Amino acid sequence: MSESIPVCDAADPFPRAPAFTIPPGACDTHAHVFGTERIYPYTPNRTYTPPDAPVGAYRHLHERLGIARGVLVQPSVYGTDNRLQMDALAYLRGQGLAYKGVAVVDADARETELDQLEAGGHCGVRMNLLFKGGIQWRDVEVLAQRLATRNWHLQFLIDVSEFEDLESRIRALPVPVVVDHMGHMDCRKGLEHPGFQALLNLLRDEQVWVKLSGAYRITAEQQPPYTDVDLFAQALVEANPNRCVWGSDWPHPHFSIPMPNDGDLLDLLARWVPDEAVRNRILVDNPAALYGF
């Protein structure tokens, strides 16, 4: 392992219960499982080395938070090797639990590979333009045409402040698009930044779904509740509450401030969305529509 690849801290092993009532059927739309490296090796071309985060710890997190459904997202450190995620979903779904997956594949992936992923619970493909090991934009148009026939979606890990022609590119795609981590833009750039405004425009026109997740990735603060994120999350919900979903981003790999507790992160949603009916829509109804629960 190269010493130049940073090793991430582990998640807090003692998640506390949230301070508000979680509705039945609540969904965590963004998390990852990792390890062990001996069985599921990381790609050499990666930005970080994660801690082990096994499926049992993931399920414990959801039991503690009161989460009934989940979506596992293929992380960049595995490239297009989706074996661990397939195995984790097989374990969870084998217990009768409602879990889905978002894979990473090459643009020229065989139909048989997509068939296997779909049978294993996958319903989308992630495009990563931030970390090494992700799919590249030049493959997107080709892949989108193929995914449209399967009713899959594309998920984007991008910084909306640094992505050229965001609006026109997304509007041209024939599949639903999901944007990670509120657009992954540093809050210090401000609400009026053209990239964030483009995201709001797409959201208003129902051209995208947005994950209310990863507040610690865009804040300038060190500890929850990350008050500088409030206006950004609230602007997204105001733009279209029917197209917002929530995600934990557990086990929180590759960021630079102290590790938060997952109970504190879930409580951020109540801070951003005090209206219980709207909050329950974000936790239950919206992800059910997007992922087909």
Which residues have a Cβ under 8 Å from the Cβ of 233 and sit 6 or more positions away? 182, 212, 215, 268, 272, 273
| Single-letter residue type at 204 | R
DSSP state of 282: I
User: Which residues face 141 on adjacent strands?
Assistant: none
249 is catalytic: yes
Cis preceding linkage at 43, omega within 30: no
Comparing CA positions, the residue from 214, 211, 210, 76 lying closest to residue 135 is: 76
Residue 99 has, within 13 A of its CA and on its CB side, a CA count of 27
Matching residue, tokens 């894979």: 103
Return phi, psi of residue 152, to 5°: -90, 170
The DSSP call for residue 227 is G
Q: Which are the contacts of 149, defined by CB distance < 8 A and separation ≥ 6?
A: none
Q: How many helices (H) and strands (E) does the chain have?
A: 11, 8
- Give me the catalytic one of 12, 28, 180, 249: 249
Q: Which residues are catalytic?
A: 249
